[in-house]
Amino acid sequence: MGGVKKIRLLNNRLIHNDQQQQFGGEILLQYNINDLIITKNAISPNKNGYLLIKDNKSGKNINIKHNNYNLKGSNKTIWNKKEEYLR
């Protein structure tokens, strides 16, 4: 099985990426992600979309911090198959 490691997603604008609302959200994390940092990004989902989806329990050392979320759209996330909401 494949995977990725040592990924940095820094200082980006992630705005309305899931145009066809196919359950991809603004950020979709899949399997075997190790040593990931997502920080200092501006993230704004579609009205019915998700900010972040991680629908499995694989991976380690995943740090998501200091991002600017536009919650005027949706504030939904999925983490390890559990739907949650940012406040």
pLDDT band of residue 5 (cuts 50, 70, 90) is very high
C-alpha distance from residue 75 to each of 9, 55, 60, 86 (Å)? 20, 16, 24, 5
pLDDT at 47 > cutoff 80:
no
Segment 20-45, tens digit of pLDDT: 777 677 888 888 999 999 999 999 88
Task: Please check whether residue 56 is in contact with residue 73, taking contact to mean a CB–CB distance below 8 angstroms.
Answer: no
Task: Please check whether residue 70 is in contact with residue 47, taking contact to mean a CB–CB distance below 8 angstroms.
Answer: no
Amino acid code (one letter) for 65: K
Scanning 4-74, the segments in alpha helix (DSSP H) are none
Q: What is the pTM of this model?
A: 0.83
pLDDT at 1 > cutoff 70:
no
Segment 53-87, tens digit of pLDDT: 888 888 899 999 999 988 876 788 888 888 888 76
Judged by average pLDDT, the poorest of 12-16, 26-30, 48-52 is 48-52
C-alpha distance from residue 51 to each of 1, 2, 3, 19 (Å)? 26, 24, 22, 13
